[in-house]
Amino acid sequence: MLAKVFSATLWGLESRSVEVEIDIARGLPAFEVVGLPDAAIREAKERVRAAVRNSGFDYPMARITANLAPADLRKEGSGFDLALAVGLLIASDQLTQETTEGICFVGELSLDGRLRGVSGILSHALAAAHGDRRLLIVPVENLSEARLVRDVQSIGCATLAEVIAFLKGTFKGWDPTSAPTMKAAVLPDLADIRGQESARRAVEVAAAGGHNLLLTGPPGSGKTMLAERLGGILPPLTEQEALQVNQIYSVAGRFSEVAQTVQRPFRSPHHTISTAGLIGGGRVPRPGEISLAHAGVLFLDELPEFSRNTLEALRQPLESGEVIIGRANATLRYPARFTLIAAANLCPCGRLGSSQPCSCTPHEIARYQSKISGALLDRMDLQVSVMPLTFDELSAPPGESSETVRQRVRAARQRQKERLARWGIACNAELRASQLKEACPLSKQARDLMRQAFENLHLSARAHDRLLRVSRTIADLADCDRIEVAHLAEAISYRQTPLAEGR
């Protein structure tokens, strides 16, 4: 007998519907899966065999063939286990075909028949909301994730036996409210920073406009502390942003890290990370750190220690807000619109710029700094030197708290939201070149200053545009409709670092 049920596979962030056909014929007992399955799917026959038996159902001793259609689409992951088991029970007359109409089955089976969670459930639920199958049966641990999509009825089951009981009408499914929720982490406070008024201000500007920030200076001057406190002054995720972030983490198998929170992601990978780990890809393509930082912050500490090739791979995503991973049979796209915060010493020993003597030769310093290419440096909107503190600065009372700064950032973001809504963008950092003239009006004095800066600092066209965006954000923080000389002068001051001067 032939049975047909539906499941789904991931293709980048998208979910593709897969028809699972099961045929049972006479012949020596065997179970073959065809249709470009990966190793995890080919091994499913052993899990399905044990799960069906240990759940109290009969396993047919015959020749079983499973086809995953369309046959030219590569399928990956263990989420087909449940669909294969249900199809097998239909083909062996233990379940009727009519009970599975309009249902998509996704889940991994253990040998005793329990259902294990899988990645990408949120993508499957979003696809079901726009397809013909509006009922999704998933493992109970994925239920809270699936229920984020309101247009789809999601049923959570703990075992294969419960799935069959639901299809027969004797089980209603688990209640998602029993699933644990994740509380937002307590973020470090900006009040912990003593002194460093210029760097604190740069962090505020970066948060207000979504601008990239480079902090340079000797070790112990507070670069990492400043970067770690940026997340605490960012506005919360919007509903649409939160859904997209949840989808990315779901596909990456890390949904629990962002579940039930509107806190923006903050990613800080180690400098030994590979290009695929940072950008995304791999044998089985998965989102990289830049996609996990989408709508949030990517912090790269010790920037020159990263591989040169890895850093250069950041250039295109920083401009486009997405990463494109090419394969022989497809092109995958992952969103990657993040705020890049980087920290760097000025030399290998780290003492250049401090009160201690530097032991590096000019050649070593030049080679160390050259790891950050001019093209990447040009994409850093704010470049600030962070100098060591004096004793009096360390002994000074705390500065403004993150909550105080966050209120100003939210007000500036609200101004941007109202002004940029017609273009479908959220912050000044996303402004395109064609929109700058209208969005960033300059006073006559500010225009004269921009001309001088462009000629004297030898700015590129990209640096010119980024300077305008930063000036627009500073004006928003000051609640001004037009960019004045003071706003532009402050933006220019954020591009005067030893790294920029050495180019």
- Cα–Cα distance measured from residue 457 to residue 501, given in angstroms and rounded to the nearest whole number: 9
Instruction: Name 236's Cβ contacts closer than 8 Å, sequence gap at least 6.
Output: 262, 263, 264
Q: Could you name the CATH architecture of 2-178?
A: 2-Layer Sandwich (3.30)
Q: pTM for this one?
A: 0.89
pLDDT of residue 291: 96
Helices (H), 293-401: 308-312, 315-320, 362-369, 374-378, 391-395
Residue owning tokens 């995953």: 68
pLDDT of residue 179: 44
pLDDT of residue 221: 87
Stretch(es) of the chain classified as CATH 3.40.50.300: 190-501
Q: Report whether pLDDT(293) > 50.
A: yes
Q: Is 319 helix (H, G, I), strand (E, B) or coil?
A: helix
Query: What pLDDT, in 10s, does the model give residues 124-149?
Result: 999 998 888 889 999 999 998 999 99
- Nearest 10 degrees: Cα torsion 377, 441, 429, 478: 100
Query: What pLDDT, in 10s, does the model give residues 221-256?
Result: 889 999 999 999 999 999 899 999 999 999 999 988
Query: What pLDDT, in 10s, does the model give residues 167-219?
Result: 999 999 887 644 444 455 678 889 888 888 899 999 999 999 999 999 999 88
- Looking at the chain, the whole-number percentage of residues with pLDDT higher than 70 is 96
Query: What pLDDT, in 10s, does the model give residues 365-424?
Result: 989 988 899 899 999 999 999 988 888 878 878 888 999 999 999 999 999 999 999 999
Residue owning tokens 């999704």: 136
| Start-to-end C-alpha separation, the chain | 73
Positions of E strands within 1-51? 2-11, 14-25, 30-34
Residue predicted with more confidence, 184 or 66? 66
Stretch(es) of the chain classified as CATH 3.30.230.10: 2-178
Instruction: Name 46's Cβ contacts closer than 8 Å, sequence gap at least 6.
Output: none
- Cα–Cα distance measured from residue 9 to residue 80, given in angstroms and rounded to the nearest whole number: 8
**Domain 190-501, CATH number (from 3.90.950.10, 3.40.50.300, 2.40.50.140, 3.40.30.10):** 3.40.50.300
